[in-house]
Amino acid sequence: MPKLTIARLDLGGKRVFLRADLNAPLEAGAVSDDTRLAAVVPTIEHARAAGARVVLASHLGRPKGKPTAEFSLKPVAERLAVLLRTEVPLAADCVGPEIEAQARALKPGRLLLLENLRFHKEEEANDDGFARGLAALADVYVNDAFAAAHRAHASIAAITKHLQPAAAGLLMERELAALGRVLEAPTRPLLAILGGAKVSDKLTLVENLLSRVQALAIGGGMAFTFLKAQGLEVGRSLVEPDHLETARRVLDAAKRRQVEILLPLDAVVAAGLDSPAGRTVDIGSMPPDEMGLDIGPKTVERFAAGIGTAKTIVWNGPMGVFERAPFAQGTMAVAHAVAGAKAFSVVGGGDSVAAVNAAGVADRIGYISTAGGAFLEFLEGRSLPGVDALTDA
């Protein structure tokens, strides 16, 4: 681990500014999915057990730089109190003399949750003055918000200029270790499975992975641009005409690098997303008035064979419109195949994580990332501001 971690800090009596990602979905004024909250609990408990006074900070939603009741962290405080089995007081703001006094008054082992950082436009602007105000609340900085590590925001980047040391939390450490294992030291063969709607969303990722993987399986809507680039009929399936030449270049580059590209052999087609059922046709025999909405059984078999021979697997993006029952079987089958593989597997991105949860196989995945954008940018080979800002080990 090239960055300082919370395990190496002496936290006794220290005020710890803990940047977490508590951006949980809300329904009827309550947290409807506490996955991200539960993920940071081990770091909070570690700090409390070490005698730290925890100043917890996060964003929630997009309040556009001004306080709104809709985006208050009050429901998060209430759910955290249940998960931690302790009181989680919510501050009225996140900076200012009153908040500084509250932070100073914290007893060892206690915590204070700051109100939504994005109630101040200076947060997303990475404003130095705002960062200085946040830094005044604590003695040491810990970032456990890997899901927000690709954002150069005040509580993620600028704050570390005024608050040192800056260490990775337990969740951040696990994320970096798992993704580093995939990119830097994978047991080979390494297979990447990519899905989702658009080639344009994953283009940089595909290009970076070509230099690292032995095989690349492409499903979802993005597969049809690659199939069309090969001159195949794909009906009304999602195709990005502007990226057909790019798809050809990717296929040519894969051939030169001897990277096996696994594309669909068949698809489940229908007239539209609202169709009550689909039917399976071979790629190349797709009717011009229907669209591919899932991979078919031949493709599942092909992908499963690739999964079965891999030693390391990284998966991002569903194989079809899995939110709709008639078009979920391909994604579910891939989830089961990945879970059953004798390989170290990493799954990231909201849809892929939802798929392994829906398939009931989450406990058989090597590592499930809490991140979406940061997960993709890390795999694309980009540097992440939230990681770069941490103190070197």
Looking at the DSSP assignment, which residues form a beta bridge with residue 261?
A: 216
155 touches 57 (CB < 8 A): yes
Catalytic residue among 110, 198, 324, 382: 198
Residue of 367, 376, 375, 302 whose CA lies nearest to 334:
302
Catalytic residue among 36, 118, 202, 228: 36
Q: How many residues does the chain have?
A: 393
11 touches 128 (CB < 8 A): no
Residue 239 DSSP class: -
Residue of 208, 220, 186 whose CA lies nearest to 310:
186
Strands 190-194, 312-316: pairing kind: parallel
**DSSP line for 354-369:** HHHHHTT-GGGSSEE-
Catalytic residue among 311, 373, 381, 382: 373
Count of CA atoms in the C-beta half-sphere (13 A) of 259: 25
Report d(CA 272, CA 178) in Å as an integer: 38
Report d(CA 139, CA 52) in Å as an integer: 10
Q: Is 36 a catalytic residue?
A: yes
Count of CA atoms in the C-beta half-sphere (13 A) of 148: 26
Report d(CA 85, CA 105) in Å as an integer: 21
Reduced to 3 states (helix: H, G, I; strand: E, B; else coil), residue 332 is helix
Tokens of 154: 């005040």
1 touches 125 (CB < 8 A): no
Q: Is 198 a catalytic residue?
A: yes
Tokens of 1: 């681990």
What's the CA angle centered on 312, arms 305 and 295, to 5 degrees? 40
Strands 140-143, 15-19: pairing kind: parallel
Catalytic residue among 284, 308, 350, 360: 350
Report d(CA 155, CA 136) in Å as an integer: 12
DSSP element (H, E) containing 228:
helix 223-229
Q: Which residues are catalytic?
A: 36, 198, 350, 373
